[in-house]
């Protein structure tokens, strides 16, 4: 008898899982149920080319709708799944439909973390996670002259760069002593602050937004320091929260996300989780992690499909990410958290192309490469193969990358 795979969520992880299922020979029903109205789309351009108006929704679709139709994959959009009944193996949608499954994939991703201050829900205060958010931001940006961005992480800084492209005056408020503090070394923060300043963005660190108030046609952001900031629009980017509630209510094991094994199976063997929502063990870093990145969503989608198709392949990919701001293409391989030493290769003080190599106890753990794909590819290869690097040679830009490898 033909079996059914239901995938909840219709974004990067889901779009990969369904296609890999078919490619791996799954002949039963495949249905994606997602609560957004747009077919699966690339989320990274939302703060980049889609926000600055250089790309349309059609440009950012992960694949044409026809591809799903040709592969006999059902896309049910604009539908929210509210309950999983693991005993009857059925889902209940918010509209009251019962949907039976044999295998269930939770690709529910994450939602924005809201800033717990007065005024965060005022008109012209925005968060940024989906196309609806960005279309609203873009519309307001047509008439706005000034914007305040609360949060100096990647999303906040990418948004700042895109709004500058649209000609707005932009101020970024960061609560920590430096932008990107949670994810990079001080040298990287200093570099990004310099470039944003050169491009006309005001970056203000160590300042905590405490309230937003409406003032005539503008918004005033009050802060923990003396200074207030007035703008036509405010965008908040302070991180995300995994959408675990569906799994949690169904009694699945939860950590910092839905806990899965190396095959992306949850504590119920017929239910999988993939993408931003999954909390998994990474053998390279010997720790459980939840990653917020497209490559992770894609690789986990492939892992789920392979397991369902009876050709299991454990997930052990090296984490990698990217961020685009102005003319800067940042590529990151590995996880830098816990580093105790950083080697800079190239000119991060005046130039715009270099790499930061992170070490922990002399072990190379991650690289941040700015406009330097060669350093990124090299770092990724070294991390994947578990090789070691000679720090002194690495710091010498005259030395060839391959001469930095330590043998044995
Ligand atoms: C502005 C922005 C820029 C980014 N830039 C980068 C970048 O440069 N590089 C990078 O690697 N990553 C980037 N990311 C992160 C990347 O987009 C995510 O890692 C990726 O989208 C994760 O995919 P996912 O399929 O796990 O989940 P998501 O993309 O979060 O999708 C989950 C989907 O499930 C839906 N859903 C949730 N619950 C239910 C339910 N109960 N019923 C039905 N549907 C439900 C959600 O509405 C959503 O549509 C960016 C993200 C944002 C927002």
Q: What is the pLDDT of residues 300-337, one digit of tens each?
A: 999 999 999 999 999 999 999 999 999 999 999 999 99
Instruction: Choose one of 213, 236, 259: the last residue of a domain.
Output: 236
State residue 362 phi and psi, 5-degree precision.
70, 0
pLDDT in tens, 245-288: 999 999 999 999 999 999 999 999 999 999 999 999 999 999 99
Q: Which domain holds residue 153?
A: 125-236
Hey, what's the torsion of the CAs at 120, 126, 130, 132, to 10 degrees? 120
Q: Facing residues of 222 across strands?
A: 211
Whether residue 316 is contained in a domain is answered as: no
Burial class of residue 213, CB neighbours in 10 A (0-12, 13-18, 19+)? middle
Residue 2 has pLDDT above 80, yes or no: no
Does pTM top 0.95 for this prediction? yes
Domain count, the chain: 3
Q: Which pLDDT band, with edges at 50, 70 and 90, does 225 fall under?
A: confident
Ligand 1 pocket member 247 (CB < 6 A)? no
189 lines ligand 1 (CB under 6 A): no
Alpha-carbon distances of 99 from 8, 34, 82, 153, 191, rounded to whole Å: 11, 13, 11, 39, 51
Ligand 1 contact via 34 beta carbon (within 6 Å):
yes
Shared-domain flag, residues 220 and 255: no
Are residues 82 and 166 located together in one domain of the fold?
no
**How far apart are alpha carbons 373 and 399 in whole angstroms?**
17
Q: What average pLDDT does the segment 107-130 reach?
A: 98
CATH number at residue 398: 3.30.390.30
Q: Which atom of ligand 1 is nearest to the CA of 291?
A: 19
* Residue 357 sits in the same domain as residue 373: yes
CA distance 207 to 231: 16
353 and 385 belong to one structural domain: yes
Q: pLDDT digit string (tens) for 11-37?
A: 999 999 999 999 999 999 999 999 999
Residue 84 beta carbon below 6 angstroms from any ligand 1 atom? no
Flag whether 313 is in a domain: no
Binned at pLDDT 50, 70 and 90, residue 1 comes out as low
Short-list 73, 5, 62, 9, CA closest to 258: 9
Ligand 1 centroid, distance to 292 Cα (angstroms) = 8
């Amino acid at each position: 008898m033909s079996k059914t795979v239901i995938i909840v969520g219709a974004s990067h992880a889901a779009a990969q899982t369904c296609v890999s299922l078919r490619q791996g020979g799954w002949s039963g029903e495949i249905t994606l149920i997602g609560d957004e109205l747009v077919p699966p789309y690339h989320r990274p351009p939302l703060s980049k080319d889609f926000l600055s108006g250089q790309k349309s929704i059609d440009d950012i679709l992960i694949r044409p709708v026809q591809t799903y139709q040709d592969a006999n994959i059902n896309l049910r959009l604009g539908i929210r799944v509210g309950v999983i009944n693991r005993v009857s193996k059925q889902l209940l949608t918010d509209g009251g439909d019962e949907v039976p499954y044999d295998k269930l994939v939770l690709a529910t991703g994450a939602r924005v973390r809201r800033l717990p201050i007065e005024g965060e829900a005022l008109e012209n205060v925005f968060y940024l996670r989906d196309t609806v958010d960005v279309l609203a931001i873009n519309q307001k940006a047509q008439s706005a002259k000034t914007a305040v961005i609360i949060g100096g992480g990647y999303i906040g800084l990418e948004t700042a760069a895109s709004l500058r492209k649209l000609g707005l005056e932009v101020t970024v408020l960061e609560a920590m002593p430096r932008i990107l503090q949670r994810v990079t070394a001080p040298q990287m923060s200093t570099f990004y602050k310099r470039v944003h300043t050169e491009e006309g963005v005001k970056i203000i660190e160590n300042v905590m937004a405490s309230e937003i108030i409406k003032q005539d046609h503008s918004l005033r952001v009050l802060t923990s320091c003396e200074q207030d900031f007035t703008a036509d629009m405010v965008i908040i980017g302070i991180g995300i929260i995994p959408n675990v509630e569906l799994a949690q209510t169904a009694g699945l094991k939860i950590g910092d996300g839905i806990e899965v094994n190396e095959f992306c199976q949850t504590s119920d063997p017929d239910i999988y989780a993939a993408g931003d929502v999954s909390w998994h063990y990474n053998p390279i870093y010997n720790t459980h992690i939840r990653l917020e990145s497209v490559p992770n969503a894609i690789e986990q989608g492939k892992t789920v499909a392979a397991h369902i198709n009876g050709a299991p392949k454990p997930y052990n990919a090296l984490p990698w990410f990217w961020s685009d701001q102005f003319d800067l293409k940042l590529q990151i391989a590995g996880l830098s958290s816990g580093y105790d030493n950083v080697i800079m290769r190239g000119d991060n003080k005046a130039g715009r192309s270099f790499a930061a190599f992170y070490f922990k106890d002399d072990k190379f753990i991650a690289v941040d490469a700015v406009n330097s794909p060669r350093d990124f590819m090299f770092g990724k290869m070294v991390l994947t193969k578990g090789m070691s690097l000679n720090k002194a040679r690495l710091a010498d830009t005259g030395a060839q990358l391959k001469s930095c490898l330590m043998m044995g």
